[in-house]
Structure 1
Amino acid sequence: KQKLVAEIIKYNPDVLGVSFTTQAATGAYQLINEVKQRNDEIYIVVGGPHPTTIPEDCFKNSKADIVVIGEGEETFFEILEKIDSSSKDLCDIRGTVLMNNGQLKRNPLRPLIKNLDQIPFPARDLLDITRYPGYMYKKYDCDTDIISARGCPFNCTYCSNPVWKLQKPWYRLRSPQNVVDEMEHIIENYGIREIFDETDEFNGNKKWSKDVCDEIIKRNLGIAWKAQMRVDNIDPELVDKLKQAGFWMGLFGLESANDQ
C-alpha cells in the first residue's frame, strides 16, 4: 500500500479514481486518507459497488471528494470536464453524491446508457497488459476480460445485483457484432487469444448468446474463452455452438439445490 501511495504522489494526478467493493472498503479508505494527507489538492472520485450502495459511508470513513453512483462512464467524464475547465461547480452533476456545506447532497440518478455499443473499448494500450496474466484457470499464458452485457434479468435473493437495480432496463446487451469486434481487437492489438467474459450471465438471453457464438464462428477467430452462466438457461444447441466457438469453461452459480 505504501508503494502505491508513493507512486500516486510521484505521478501527482489532478484526479484520482478509486473503485471498490465492500470487502475492499477498509483498504480503499486507508489509501484515500493517506493520499489526501500527503497531497490534499488531488481530487478523489470514488465509485463501484460499495460507494453506490452506501455513499455516506465513504464520507464518514474517508476524505473522498465525490461519489459516483452506478455506471461511471458519463458521470466521471463530466466530472473531468468540469475540473479541466477550472469550474468549481461540481455540486449538481447527475449520478453523484457529495458533501455540500456540511450536508450530504444526493443528485438525481443519471439515466443508464441505452446503447452499450457506443462505449469505446477499454484503453488497454495505457497499461503493460503482459503484467496482468488474468484469471487463474486458462489455456494460454495470458487472458483478458470483456463485459458483453450489463445487469441481469433475474432477481435472486442471495445476489448483490439488486443494489444496481435502481432503474430500468435491468438487462442490456451489446450487439454480437460489437462483442466480437472487441475480441478481434484484442487479438490483433495485443496478441491475446483467450477471453474471459465477466458478464453476470452470458446466457441470460439464450438467443443472443447463440448469435454471439455464430459471430465468433463466422469470423473463425480461433480463440479460447470462458464465461459466467446460469445453469437453467442452456440447451444442447447452445452447448454445440459454444464448443464450435472455442468456449471451454463455464462458471455456474450453484447457491442452492432448492428453487424455493
Structure 2
Amino acid sequence: MKAHVLLLRPRGRKTDSRVFALEQLGLSYVAATVRAAGLTAEIVDGALEPDRYDALLGKMNDGDYELIGYPIYPETVRRVQRDVARLRARGVRAHVTVGNHLATLHDRTVMVDFPDFDSAVRGEGESTLPELARCLVTKGDLAQIAGLTYRQGGEIRRNPARPNIQDLDVIPFPARDTLPLVLKAGNVPLLYTSRGCNARCDFCSVHNYFNASPSGAWRGRSPGNVVDEMESIARTYGVHEFAFADEQFLGHGRTGRERALGIAEEITRRGLDFRWFMDTRATSVTQDVFTRLRDGGLRVVFMGLESGYDPALKQMRKGLTVDRSIQAIDILKNLEITPSAGFIMFRPDTTLEELWCNLEFLDEVGCVELTALATAMRVYSGTALESRLRSEGRLRGAYYDYQWSFQDVKVESCYATVMESADTLSAMYNAFAGFRRKGLVSYAECMKLQRAMNRGPLAVMRDLVEAVSKDGGASEAVRAETRTAFKECCEDFLRLIRFVQACSAGRTVAAGSPMMSPTYLC
C-alpha cells in the first residue's frame, strides 16, 4: 500500500489557472489530521501538477490506497466523475469520498447522480475523514461516523450531522505538501484564520454550508495560533507574504474586530516583517481599525462590492450601499492599502440603467479588476437566489451546472458581446497584477496605472451599451468593433507596462517614443 489516504484535486482548465495556482487548503487540513491520527496521506494536486496527476490515474492499482478523497465544485464534479470512472475501469476498488459545499448541500443527489462515489463528507472534514479512513482500515461500521452519507447494499444512508469544530486552535496546521509548487508559480501561502460568515447574501452558499451542521456561526482562531503558523511557514519556506482566505476575516462585531487587531499586534510584538492580504466586507472598513491593521502588515484588502447600483445591492441582500463602498475604498487608499474588489456586472435582473451605473462606479473607484466587465453571477445550490429563479421559471440545468436567463434581451446582448473578449481582459489584468507584485513603482503610481488600464476598456463598454440601447442588440459589426477595440486597449496597456518597467529598471527609451510622456500618471 502506498498510503492509507490519497487526496486529489482534478486538473484545471486553462481559464482556471489564475484561481487554482494556489493550495487547496481543505485537502491540506485533512492530510494533517489524517497523519495526526497515525495514518498515511498523500496529496496530488492536478491543478498544480497535471502531468503527475495524469500519470497517477494511468498507473494506479487496486490496493494502493484504502481511501481516495476529492473536493467537488459545480465546475469540477463531472471531471472528478470521469477520473473516478477511469480508475474503476482499471479495477481500482478503493473507497471514494467527496466533500465541500456540493457534497454537503446535495449529498443524496450527488450519490445518486454519480454512482462511482462511495460516500460524501458533509461539513468540515477534519474529524470525519480520518474516522472514515480508520474505519476502512479496520473494517468497521460506517454507520458510526457522524457527518457521513454513504452507499451500503444498494441504499444511500445518511448519518447524523457532525457539529462544526468550535476551538479551531486544536486543529493541526495544514500540511504544506503543495506549497513549493505555489511559490514557484509566484503565489503566496494561504491561511484560514476563521471559518463561517454570518452575512446572508442571496447568491452565496457559505452560510448554508456551515449551518448545515450544528454550531455553524463564525469562529476565529486565536491571534497567537495564527502567528505561530505564519512563523512556521516563514522559517520553513523563507516567505514573508501571506493571504488570509477567510470568508470574513474581521468576523462580526466587537469580538471579531478585537481578534483581527490581535493578529496584527501579535505580528508587531514579535518583530516580524510580514505582509498580508485579507477579505472583508466593505461595511467593516473603518479608519481607526485599518490604521492598526496596516501597522501590523496589512497590504491588500479584497471586498465583495458586487455592484454600483443600490437597488441591485438591496436585491442581493448585501447590507451595503454604493456610498459605503466608495467610503471603504477611500479609507484604504488614504492608508495606502491596496483595495481589490469582487464585482458582478451581469445578473439575471440587470437592466441597462444598472449597467450605466456600474460603469460610472467602476470609473469613479478605479480599482476594481478589469475582468469585472465580463463577470456574470453564478447560481449556487442552496441559495436564496436559486430558490427565487426556480420559482420564476428562469433556472435550468442540473444543480451543478445551473443556467439562467436574462430579463432584458439588450443586457443579454451586451453580455454575449463582452464575453467574446473575456480572455483579452484577463490577459491585460494579469499583466498588471504581475507588474504590481514586483513593487517597482510607488503606491500612488500603481493606483494611477490601474486607473489608466481601466480607462480604455470602460470607454469601449460604454460604446457597446450605447449601441445596444439604440439598436436593440449588438449587430455583427458592433461585436467585431468591440472585439477589436478591447484588443487594442490591451496592446496599448501592455506597451505601457513594458515602458514603465524599463524606466523603473533604469533603461532608456528612444526619443520621440509615444510612451515617453508619463501621462498615465495624470
| Structure 2 stretches lacking a partner, 5+ long | 1-10, 12-49, 315-522
- Residue of structure 2 aligned with 1:122, choices 174, 180, 191: 174
Instruction: Note closer, same or farther for the CA distance 1:234–1:89 as it changes in structure 2 (3 Å cut).
Output: same
Match of 2:56 in 1: 7
Partners of 1:48 and 1:69 within 8 A in 2: yes
More moved, 19-28 vs 34-43: 34-43
Cα displacement (A) at 1:197 = 0.4
After TM superposition, give the deviation of residue 227 of structure 1 in Å.
Answer: 0.8
Alignment match, 1:182: 229
Q: Which of 176, 184, 203 is the matching residue for 1:158? A: 203
Structure 1 position 37 matched with structure 2 position 89: yes
Question: Is the partner of 1:132 in helix, strand or coil?
Answer: helix
- The structure that has the greater radius of gyration is 2
**39, 45, 48: which one pairs with 2:100?**
48
The one-letter amino acid of 2:76's match is A
Letter in 2 for 1:156: C
Deviation at 1:251, TM superposition (A): 0.6
| Residue-by-residue CA offset, 1:158-191 (whole Å, 9 max, x unaligned) | 2111321123241111011111111111101121
SS in 2 for 1:14: strand
TM-aligned CA distance change 1:33 to 1:91, over 3 Å = farther
Contact 2:198 2:207 (8 Å CA) reproduced: no
2:293 pairs with 232, 242, 245, which one?
242
What is the match of residue 173 of structure 1?
220
Greater RCO, CA 8 A, separation 6+: 1
When residues 66 and 5 of structure 1 are mapped into structure 2, their CA distance, relative to the original with a 3 A threshold, is farther
Distance 1:169 1:19 in 2: 20
> Normalising by structure 2, what TM-score?
0.46
CA-CA distance at 1:134 after TM superposition: 8.1
Gaps in structure 1 of 5+ consecutive residues? 136-140
Partner of 1:232: helix, strand, or coil? helix
Provide, for residues 216-252 of structure 1, a one-character-per-residue CA deviation record: whole Å limited to 9, x for no partner: 1111211121011110012112211121112111110
**1:89 maps onto 2:166 in alignment:** no
User: Match for 1:250: what amino acid?
Assistant: V
Is 2:133 the partner of 1:80?
yes
Residues in 2 aligned to 1:173 and 1:252: alpha-carbon distance in whole angstroms? 19
Q: Take 2:101 and 2:226, find their aligned partners in 1: how far apart are those partners?
A: 24
Q: How does 1:21-36 map to 2 (within 5 A)?
A: 21-36=73-88
- 1:15 deviates by 1.5
Question: 1:142, CA displacement in angstroms?
Answer: 4.2
Q: Deviations over 1:5-44 (max 9, x none)?
A: 5314448322111012112111111112212221332211
- Percent sequence identity is 27
Which of 164, 170, 181 is matched with 1:112 structurally? 164
Contact 1:134 1:144 survives alignment (8 Å): no
Which residue of the other structure, out of 245, 255, 267, is the alignment partner of 1:216?
267
Q: Evaluate the alpha carbon distance shift between residue 128 and residue 229 of structure 1 in structure 2; reply closer, same or farther with a 3 A threshold.
A: closer
Q: How many Å separate the matches in 1 of 2:228 and 2:281?
A: 24
Supply the distance in 2 between the matched residues of 1:224 and 1:39 (Cα, whole angstroms). Answer: 48
Separation in 1, partners of 2:161, 2:140: 21
Aligned AA (2:89):
Q
Between stretches 34-43 and 68-77, larger displacement belongs to 34-43
> By percentage of residues, which structure has more helix?
2
Pair 1:201-2:248 in alignment: yes
Q: Distance in 2 between matches of 1:62 and 1:32?
A: 10
